[in-house]
């Protein structure tokens, strides 16, 4: 079975549109091909800034609630957010299960390797990859961190100089839009695939909080993902629909396309 784990968290983002991520998570969870949807009852209110992270208290609680939901699921999980921080608990679970054999393919316009010291806004969704490597606030960083060789960043084109300095120092593999398919070279399972929808070309899919120009076309991304062997978990994040009405048909088609590529359905 495949479970869509809906985590309608918005507090990790600093965008004025961040609350739209709640509706985006709920809508997208219904579009991903899955046998059931499990929704994590995360708080909707904001929180207090601490440890250099905005809404730190809420984010830590959200992690606890997500871990609790995951504890009752033994099937393949497609996590649907919400901001990028919804990936912390699912990746921690995959790390515990597969150990050093796990590879995380982080498909995102941004590398997400800020720290509380380098990101004044304190938006944790910009710090997630660094937290996966063990460098993050208590309650948000992995207790069993990934090693740099376990993380591949793909589609990135908007990183800050401080992030690129960190990437080079840590030795993380990084591929942009032009050489995107190189991520497949030597890639073996088990693989966890993270998709931040802002990796897409905004002219094709612009319903995100931080769209970046010159992105990946949806079909190209789906073709790439469908070639990844042994996907043991995945996420689709950062869908911020503009209205309160039903999902835009074009947006829905793209989310279904990517969900099918991730699940093989």
Contacts 24+ apart (CB under 8 A), 49-53: 49/122, 51/116, 51/137, 51/138, 52/115, 52/116, 52/117, 52/119, 52/122, 52/137, 53/116, 53/122, 53/124, 53/127, 53/137, 53/140
pLDDT per residue as tens digits for the range 139-158:
999 999 999 999 999 999 99
Q: Give the span between the Cα atoms of 244 and 41, in whole angstroms.
A: 20
Which region among 53-62, 67-76, 92-101, 199-208 has the lowest average model confidence (pLDDT)?
Answer: 67-76
Q: What is the pLDDT of residue 5?
A: 98
Q: List, in sequence order, every residue forming a beta bridge with 50; answer none if it has no partner.
A: 53
At 112-122, the pLDDT tens digits run 999 999 999 99
The pTM is what?
0.97
Q: Which structure tokens are listed for 129?
A: 């990859």
């Amino acid at each position: 079975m495949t479970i869509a784990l809906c985590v309608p968290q918005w507090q990790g983002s600093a965008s004025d549109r961040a609350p739209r991520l709640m509706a985006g998570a709920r809508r997208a969870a219904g579009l991903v091909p899955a046998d059931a949807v499990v929704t994590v009852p995360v708080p909707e209110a904001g929180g207090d800034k601490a440890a250099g992270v905005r809404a730190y208290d809420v984010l830590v609680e959200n992690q606890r609630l997500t871990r609790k939901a995951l504890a009752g699921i033994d099937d393949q999980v497609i996590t649907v957010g919400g901001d990028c921080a919804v990936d912390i608990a699912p990746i921690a679970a995959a790390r515990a299960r597969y150990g050093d054999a796990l590879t995380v393919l982080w498909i995102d316009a941004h590398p997400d390797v800020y720290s509380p010291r380098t990101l004044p806004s304190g938006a944790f969704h910009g710090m997630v990859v660094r937290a996966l490597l063990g460098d993050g606030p208590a309650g948000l960083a992995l207790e069993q961190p990934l090693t740099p060789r376990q993380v591949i960043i793909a589609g990135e084109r908007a990183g800050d100089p401080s992030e690129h300095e960190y990437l080079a120092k840590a030795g993380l593999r990084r591929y942009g839009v032009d050489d995107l398919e190189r991520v497949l070279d030597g890639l073996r399972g088990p693989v966890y695939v993270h998709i931040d929808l802002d990796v897409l070309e905004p002219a094709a899919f612009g319903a995100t909080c931080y769209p970046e120009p010159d992105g990946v076309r949806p079909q190209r991304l789906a073709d790439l993902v469908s070639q990844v062997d042994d996907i043991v978990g995945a996420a689709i994040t950062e869908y911020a629909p503009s209205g309160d009405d039903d999902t835009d048909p074009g947006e829905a088609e793209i989310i279904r396309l990517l969900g099918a590529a991730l699940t093989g359905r």
